Chain A
Amino acid sequence: MIGYLLRRVGWSLFTIWAVVTLTFVIYNVLPEDPARVIAGPQARPADVARIRTQLGLDQPIGVRYVRYMSGLVSFGPPPADAKDDSAWALGPVRIDLGVSYLKRKPVVELLGRALPPTLLVGVLALFVQIAVGAFGGVLAAMRRHSVLDWGTVALTLVGISAPTFLTGLLLQHLLARQLVWFPLDGYGQTSAERLHSAVLPALTLGLFGAAYYTRLVRDEMIGLLKQDYIRTARAKGQREWVVVYKHALRNALMPLVTVVGLSMGGLVGGAIVTEKIFRWPGIGSLSVDAIVERDGPVIMGVVLLFSTVVVLANLLVDLSYAVLDPRVRRS
């Protein structure tokens, strides 16, 4: 088990390194000049050249890569001029993602500010996905070939097909503009306001995933409800909800857990659009701005964070098999 764990952690680290390196190369070989974007279209060539030198963009790509990677994780005390320090320190470990070209703030600071809003929406969206997905799937499976089942299948098809920008705009129009139940956009200042504001982006993201989960649980449940042990449980006189939720649903959740891990990337991708629509100050909004403005350090920081989250989520999914499935634990 320990060997398996070490292998998995090793592969995870390699995956993160590969993603970061690939992103660095792609960003740096594009025929674009971040110094020109920073300076603006009207800046004179001499001024653009000066900015390029200040940012170290006049160095060969290999030098820039080594400089970036060597600064990424370091150990020891902060530099003497701590005012200019752009690293995040965790004890002796220092993580330095550089300084945003355009916002001129340390990337770790920008990510640190953007992460809590994204987590809030992400957790709520995940809750919506799983709750709606599990409930809808079970209901459809129990009433198979009914209007409810067909309606669920049809709705999930729409949910999967509709892009988040469409769902987001419709929800905003309906629930915020017409019915005035939620704020149109923004983050709010108090915890209550933030939770209130998070509902629409979370619904937008959650409904997309929920449609997929509903189908998954439905199909899984249909198969499971035909199993012998379910028939036995019913024969023993157990109530239907006990049979469904205790015996069938628990087993149906196995593939759901796998998909939750794999769908973290999708959740993150959806957040990029959703956060922009609802002016939610999370990682998604930060990413869009960074990509549009070619803010290299922020793009690299976001990719590093996302790849770490996705890789860790998948690692946790693998490990959670052992908890959910006694057969895996025993083996």
Chain B
Amino acid sequence: MRSTRTKTDVASRGGQWAVRCLLLLLLGCEAKVSPPLGVRRGDATAARGGTLRTAFFTDVRSLDAATAFDTASAAIESLIYDRLVTYDAHGVIVPQLAESVDPSADGKRYTFTLRRGVLLHDGAELTADDVKRSIERSLHVKTPCPVPSYYERIVGYAAYHDGKTASLEGVRISGSHALTIDLTEPDATFLHVMALPIVAPLCKSAGKVYDRTFSSKPCGAGPFKVDRYENGQIIRLVRHDGYWQKGKPYLDAIEWSLGMQSFTQRFKFERGDLDYMREFSEADSTLFRKSPAWQGHGEWEPSLTTAGSFMNTEMPPFDNRHLRRAVSFAINREQVASVRPGHVQAQAKLVPEIIIPSEPGYPAQTFDREQALREMALAGYPYDPVRRTGGYPHEIPYLAIIDSYSGQAAEVYKQHLEQIGIRIRIQLVGWPTFLAKSSRRNTVAMGFSGWHADFPDPSTFFEPILSSGAIQDEESQNAAFFSNAELDDILVRARRSANRGERLALYRQAEAIVAREAPWATVYGYRYFELWQPYVHGYRPHPVLTQYIRDAWIDRDGRKLSGRARGARRAPTTTLALALGGLR
């Protein structure tokens, strides 16, 4: 008898629990977001104090200016290391640690005069010697710098980088706060590469040669210094009280949680445990953007990327120019962008809008299926879309990256290309495999192509990826293996010109060649949506620098309000928990 009662009880309790758990899960999975915590106080004024908390999906590998060159590191480096020059709010190069920058008339010499009284994190005053030492440290033969060749036009670079000379000849100290840098030829991109963290002035503790322990205690002249850095967990920066811009920065500290999943970031952001967020899942991004309560607290980051599809001009069938042109005409870019609305933007030219805005008549590729069919006929593969006969007779392997938008975009290309008689077979591989295969000569006929600007200059979209000089048998960055003497000549002339108008005209010609010859089908650009809590002020996405939050400030009274709102928000779940307990 006792046994029977137990069974019934157990069955009953088990069933009730199962139903409760299911309800709880369903309740928690509703497709909407919570409104912001607290309100934005219009009368709040900028004041010092507070810690801004945010997160990264990835880990930050290193904080050594000489070696860290990924997106996550760059955001933090821009707060630790001020450079001689940087970008203003419009993306224009302006002096930062330099008081003035004077290029010579022939464009081969730059004279930098440093600000006086700039204190590094260790309290020492910045001098020209620190600048020279830091540049030489990064370009030293033993330093694992990923991009030293960006500085190859500095006089004496090759000898110094090969370890044949003890110092870099082209960088000369001309006073305690002045130095000159000589170039072998004029280079319009030189100030852009001087704005990279690679050559940021470092404290004397960095030494003259690379030492891997410096990454754990980085020291520069930026508004924040590192307080705590644990790989995969946290980076905490605190204000550098000796910062040269009086009254700045406002924040006491900034904390990044590292390696946080995007869904966890969303949960924490809703809860008020994060103040700023950027790495949303597609679904969450849409929910926040559509939510009326969150309007005014977020903005799109400008896109500095171009993506699409490369076509290997040395391999059949894309050694046939008309077939390449057929592909470029066949892809409906708006449709590709609609797969991930907002984040993906249709882009028919190589250089993103933020660098060279489009204007009527600007050369670009277009979607024109009729023209694509004509190009197919010119290529020798006429296709009848009604009877579905003809076209290119073989299936073309298409290389894309697993777990990335490139795979989804490839599915759309597949549909579009089928309509003009080209069949592709998508091969998804890991990122390292993709890099290895796509950069090897005579290996991949067609695949994903993407490029992110190292700096906001058109040259970064042409020279590394479409010039003849970028072609190699292995490790070729020119995955299309596209060689065009006219384009090469234009790119050299544009790089050497100091005249902005002339440069823009030259890059317009370069863009026309790409549109005409179609080594790439340029299709889209990718951008992020950024969101912050109502009490975070003074932040707007920067046109060049990612997560440039150095001037942000926190309305601490607003955050206190948020704290109370957070308590109120947690109450329902607590009540639910109590209810579950009571039912037990």
Contacts and interface: CB of A to CB of B under 8 A. Distances in A.
A43 B260 contact: no
Contacts of B474: 45
Given A40-B69, A51-B146, A184-B268, A105 B212 contact: yes
Interface string B146-176: 1111100000000000000000000000000
Given A174-B24, A279-B264, A281-B233, A42 B464 contact: yes
Given A46-B149, A177-B267, A185-B264, A104 B7 contact: no
Interface centre among A44, A143, A184 (most CB of B within 10 A): A44
Contact of B436 (A31, A42, A172, A276): A31
A104 B231 contact: no
A41 interface: yes
Interface stretch (B59-67, B276-284, B306-314): B59-67
B230 A281 contact: yes
Interface in B414-439: 430-433, 435-437, 439
Contacts of A39: 146-147
Contact of A44 (B6, B149, B230, B430): B149
A interface: dominant SS: helix
Contacts of A44: 147, 149-150, 464, 470, 477
A176 B145 CA distance: 42
A48 B148 CA distance: 10
A180 to B, nearest CB: 6
B215 A104 contact: yes
Contacts of A184: 264, 267-268
A225 interface: no
A45 B146 CA distance: 10
Nearest to B141: A50
Contacts of A289: 59, 232, 259
Interface string B270-297: 0000000000000000000000000000
B582 interface: no
Interface in B62-78: 62, 64, 67, 69-70
19 contacts: A32-B436, A40-B146, A42-B477, A44-B464, A47-B145, A102-B61, A104-B61, A104-B144, A147-B10, A173-B29, A176-B267, A177-B28, A179-B574, A180-B573, A279-B257, A279-B259, A289-B232, A292-B431, A294-B432
Contacts of B232: 279, 281, 285-286, 289
Contacts of A170: 25
B577 interface: yes
A44 to B, nearest CB: 5
A179 B268 contact: no
B18 to A, nearest CB: 10
A147 B211 CA distance: 66
B261 interface: yes
Given A99-B212, A105-B212, A173 B147 contact: no
Contacts of A89: none
A120 interface: no
B468 to A, nearest CB: 13
A33 interface: yes
A277 interface: yes
Contact of B21 (A32, A99, A174): A174
Contacts of A84: 212
A47 B141 CA distance: 11
Interface of A: 30-34, 36-51, 54, 83-84, 99, 102-105, 110, 113, 143, 146-148, 151, 169-170, 172-174, 176-181, 184-187, 276-277, 279, 281, 285-286, 289, 292, 294
A308 B33 CA distance: 47
A187 B70 CA distance: 25
Interface of B: 3, 6-8, 10-11, 14, 21, 24-25, 27-29, 59, 61-62, 64, 67, 69-70, 142, 144-150, 211-213, 215, 230-233, 257, 259-261, 263-264, 267-268, 430-433, 435-437, 439, 451-452, 454, 464, 470, 472, 474-477, 570, 573-574, 576-577
A289 B56 CA distance: 14
Nearest to A55: B144
B454 A148 contact: no
Contacts of A292: 431
A51 to B, nearest CB: 6
A178 B569 CA distance: 11
A320 B148 CA distance: 58
Given A39-B146, A51-B146, A147-B7, A187 B437 contact: no
Given A46-B149, A179-B577, A151 B14 contact: yes
Contacts of B264: 172, 184-185, 279
Contacts of B148: 47, 50
B232 to A, nearest CB: 5
B144 A42 contact: no
Contact of A151 (B10, B28, B64, B149): B10
Contacts of B573: 178-180
B452 A42 contact: yes
Contacts of A294: 432
B28 A173 contact: yes
Contact of B67 (A104, A176, A179): A104
A272 to B, nearest CB: 14
Contacts of B28: 173-174, 177-178
Nearest to A146: B7
Interface centre among A173, A176, A181, A286 (most CB of B within 10 A): A173
A311 B279 CA distance: 40
Contacts of A147: 7-8, 10-11, 14
Interface centre among A84, A99, A148 (most CB of B within 10 A): A148
